[in-house]
Every structure is written in structure tokens, then in C-alpha cells.
Copies of this chain bind each other. A is one copy, B any other.
């Protein structure tokens, strides 16, 4: 594929911070980015060539995106796999990852079943379509257990711990209500419940899958397989089920990191289509790795790769989707990141104070997402801190967390 101007155009369903960082990474490669997002002047808009304003699952919007693009991708699971599949077939604009992968992942029960079948270690889980089923499942799995809406949850939304038998009815009602927006329809296929994993720490691996390569001895194509790689394992720190900080290298044993990488590669075996995948994992008390969740796109746990690795997760996604070889995923130096989350209760214009401390900290890097409004726990930006080879990740973490804790949004 020769380089031209305008270059190949990447159409991205979703124009949030992931679309923005994709556009930042695409520009040096000569890849034009057009995003679609229902919010006019979405975060990605100022750095993308253009934005199509429309819902993620609006047919006309996605068709316009496909007509303008050489490749389609998505930065949000709210994209509609059926629509993407149909429009890709009609317009001839390929979608990566495969919409079928999105379909598998967007339903957490289908995702877990598929992975369990493939031999990926997952927490014990049950489908629960009634409160009675939830109660029976919790008796088996033990209290507390984690009740999850099958569709639509992210950043902890749609996840609800069930602490005791007394909580079953209310928890189930709440999940049904959230999943159905208050409709009184039959709640079949709405929820699943998982054993609550007593984890030592949470890890994440960004996996990446490129175009299909043909093995040397495979004139018949039998050992053809996509190019695959992983980024260095990341330790993730959540509070209120929202990612707060990341560290790489992790504080886990090397054997644990190696096991995390193996599980991630097993997960990629199940995924169809080019792109990067955020693979969230638990390290249990006895050093076992269990899969938590997968996102078929760049992921918050990989933002540190922008400064921390030779190739960022965003460049890697652009390379993979546009059919270029994958880049070097090696870590350049110990690197940590801290999310800047909205505080306060009201939804209001975003005005961040205290950002001077970011600029005054050597090797700290601000990534501001360009969102006009802030509300509690909204992801507004992140700060990455790059260390030197001898720096302990825990020390870097305390520095970046303290810089981040100096920030506040004007009420």
C-alpha cells in the first residue's frame, strides 16, 4: 500500500478519548481519521479530519463513515455488530476487529462461555434469568457474588455485588431495571453472576492481532495465522470498579506475568480480526490467572504505552486495522499512569485547577481529553509518568498519584 495524501482513511465509530488518541497516533503515519459520535465537537473532532454527527448505531451515520473510509473500526462496544457487518458487506469497506468478535464480547455471558470453551481460565459463572436462579447460583458460588448485566456495562456500570441472601431480590430487580430501562418485559437473557474473585491484584494485557501471515512451510496456507503480540503486562488499580492507576512493570512475580501473557495469547486465539484488545485479568492469592473481561479496542489500561513503549497501543491499532505490520511492543522504561476523574456532584463545564503540578513534574505527561463537561467519575484525562530503569514502579505510582490528587474541578 503506497503512501499518498490524502492517505488511507480510517473511519472510527466513537469520537471519545480513544478516538482522539487514535487520531493523534494516526497522523504521523499519514492515516486520515474520520470519527462518528452523537455529541457534536466530540473529543476526537479537533484532531481528526472530520466528525460525522450521529448515534453509534445509526445506519445513515455508519454508512457515511463507511463511504468515506478505507477501513472501519470502533472505539466503543456500543457499536452495533449487525449494522457494521451489513454495511461492510454492502460498501466493501472492511471492519476490524470482526463484528462477530464484538458480538461475542458485548454479551458478557456469551463472552465467558466462549472463552471457557476455549480453555481460558475464567471465574465460575452462571446465567441467571430470574431472582430464584440468582439465589440458587449464589448458594453455589458463595456470597458475596458479582451480578452483571450481560449487555451494555462499562466502567463498572452494570456490575453489582450481592453480599448476602437478603440482597438477592433487590440486586436482581436493579440489574433488570438498568438493563431494560424500566420496561416490564420478560427479563430473560439479562444477567449473569460470577464468583467474587478474592484477587491478589488486577493485571491487564493489551494483545494485538495483525493481518494474516503465511508460515514459511505453508504453500497450502495450512499454517497461516495472524501476526500476534502482546504489550508488557500492566498492573491496574481500581476503586469503585473504575480504573485509577496503572503500573508497568507490575509488582507481581515474573512467573505470574508470564502466565498472564500466556492467557492473553489464548484469548487472542478466540478473537477474530485485526486490532488491539484490552484483556483484564485477576491474579488470585495462589498466583493463578483468571480472565475478567475483554474490550475489542484500545483500553485505558494501555494508555501508558504512548510514552512507555516503542509503539503505543493506538499506533498498533492503526497499524493492524490498516494492514501494516505490528510495531515493537517493548517497554522503554518503567511507566505509570493515573486517571483524572471528574469530582463533585453536578454536571458542569469542565475547569481543571492544579494542572501546574503536572507540568512541573519532570517526565510527567498530560493527556487531556477535551471534554466540555465534567461529572463525578467521568474520565477527563490522564497523567503518565516515565521513570528511569532503576525506578521502582511503586515509587513512580506514589508520585503520579500525588500529582493527580492535586487536581480539582471548579464547582
Is A76 part of the contact surface with B, judged by Cβ < 8 Å? no
**Shortest beta-carbon distance from A23 to chain B in Å:** 7
Contact of A4 among B3, B351, B386 (CB under 8 A): B351
A28–B24 touching, CB < 8 Å: yes
- With the chains together, A49 CA to B372 CA distance in Å? 15
Interface size, A (range): 35 or more
Cross-chain pairs A/B with CB under 8 angstroms, 8 sampled: A3-B381, A4-B349, A4-B352, A7-B368, A23-B47, A319-B359, A324-B359, A327-B359
Is A365 in contact with chain B by the CB < 8 A criterion?
A: yes
| A4 CA / B355 CA spacing, docked (Å) | 11
A96 within 8 A of B: no
Q: Counting CB contacts under 8 A, is A198 at the interface?
A: no
Considering the chains assembled together, what is the distance between the CA atoms of A218 and B351 in angstroms? 33
For residue A328, CB closer than 8 A to chain B, the reply is yes
- Closest Cβ of chain B to A250, distance in Å, is 22
Given A46-B49, A332-B332, check contact A2 B410 (CB 8 Å): yes
Q: A94 to chain B: closest CB distance in Å? A: 19
Per-residue interface assignment for chain A, residues 357 to 398, with 1 indicating a CB less than 8 Å from any chain B CB and 0 otherwise: 001101101111011100000000100001000000000000
Cβ-closest chain B residue relative to A50: B46
Does A183 lie at the interface of the complex (its beta carbon under 8 Å from any beta carbon of B)?
no
Q: Which residues on the B side are within 8 Å of A355 (C-beta)? A: 1-3
Q: Mark A42-75, 1 if CB is under 8 A from B, else 0.
A: 0000111100000000000000000000000000
Nearest CB of chain B from residue A354's CB, rounded to whole Å: 8
**Bound-state Cα–Cα, A26 to B359, Å:** 13
Separation of A310 and B352 alpha carbons in the complex (Å): 24
Closest to A325 in B: B359
In angstroms, Cα B322 to Cα A356, docked, is 12
